[in-house]
Structure 1
Amino acid sequence: MSSTSARRPRTAAVWTGWVVFGGIMMVLLGLFHAVEGLVAVFDAGYYLVDPSGMVVGASYDTWGWLYFGLGVVVVAVGCGVLAGNRVAQIAGAVLAGLSALAHLAFVPAYPVWSLIIIVLDVVVIYALVAHGRETAAAG
């Protein structure tokens, strides 16, 4: 019994690194969203297509403020994940999913960047969903 209990915290501690990685990536992705949003608001000519060529025909001002707001929220939730808050982990997985969907609609404007963000969102979802419970077990 003592060997099983001795192994359990070590295994949990190993997987806790994934959750910390997810939290750090959320803060970084939130900052990326905020910058991307500000670029869309202040320099709409930066993107490859005009708003009529987008999946959702909203103006770049609308996209910009959406991404800026999403970025601020993602940074805050990422800090909550780093603090070990289980609710923040769940919210982080949901926000990463919303971010991936938003970038899926944004692919025509900036394809490579959008695909990179979608992949990082999927990694964050994996880290928070697959290994979130281990954080509670380690703490």
Structure 2
Amino acid sequence: MTATAKPHQHSGSPAAFGLTLFAAVMLFVAGVLDLLRGIMAIAEDKVFVSTPDYVFQFDLTGWGWIQLILGALAVIVSLGLFSLATWARVLAVGLAALLLIASFLSIPYYPVWSLALMAIYAFVIWALCVVRPSDS
């Protein structure tokens, strides 16, 4: 008797599955990038720009811990998205919104990186919100 592995069968539409998979991958990658940005900020790396006249000023080390924690949560939630869990879908939209806001607040410290991550998080939110729950 031989054992053969069956491919994962998904009963929903291919578009819904594809968008959820896209969101999971992008959230995972962006979460890892936020983890790295948090480590850089905690280590007070010289890659960060200091802007003296910005309305939202934060301590770089404190900001690093926020980025590190949010990045770790993004990685964990993205793993739940790979299993198509509804809880992960809901948490991913909320977490991506929080991370988008956090990236906005960190524009003066790392402008290009922050704008790139804002775009990624916007795509994650779009990908998870455009699919109706009945499709997945």
| Structure-1-length-normalised TM-score | 0.83
Q: What is the aligned partner in structure 2 of residue 65 from structure 1?
A: 65
Q: What is the aligned partner in structure 2 of residue 14 from structure 1?
A: 15
Any idea what the Cα deviations from partners look like across 1:57-86, whole Å, max 9, x if unmatched?
A: 221110100000001100000000111111
Q: Distance in 1 between matches of 2:40 and 2:88?
A: 28
State the AA in 2 paired with 1:22.
A
**Mapped pair 1:113 → 2:113:** yes
RMSD of aligned Cα (Å) = 1.9
Say if 2:27 and 2:75, in contact at 8 Å, map to a contact too. Answer: yes
Deviation of 1:11 after TM superposition, in Å, equals: 7.3
State the AA in 1 paired with 2:14.
A
- Segments of 4+ moved more than 3 angstroms: 52-55
- Could you say what secondary structure the match of 1:104 adopts? helix
Q: 1:37 to 1:22 in 2, by over 3 A?
A: same
Say if 1:55 and 1:105, in contact at 8 Å, map to a contact too. Answer: no
Q: Percent identity?
A: 24
In structure 1, the gaps of 5 or more residues are 1-8
Q: Distance in 2 between matches of 1:12 and 1:38?
A: 39
- Could you say what secondary structure the match of 1:43 adopts? coil
| Structure-2-length-normalised TM-score | 0.85
User: Bigger CA drift: 31-40 or 56-65?
Assistant: 56-65
Deviation of 1:48 after TM superposition, in Å, equals: 1.0
Q: What is the aligned partner in structure 1 of residue 30 from structure 2?
A: 29
- Could you say what secondary structure the match of 2:57 adopts? coil
Q: What is the aligned partner in structure 1 of residue 7 from structure 2?
A: none
Q: What is the aligned partner in structure 2 of residue 127 from structure 1?
A: 127
Q: Distance in 2 between matches of 1:67 and 1:133?
A: 30
Aligned length: 127
Q: What is the aligned partner in structure 2 of residue 3 from structure 1?
A: none
Deviation of 1:103 after TM superposition, in Å, equals: 0.8
- Could you say what secondary structure the match of 1:124 adopts? helix
Say if 1:54 and 1:109, in contact at 8 Å, map to a contact too. Answer: no
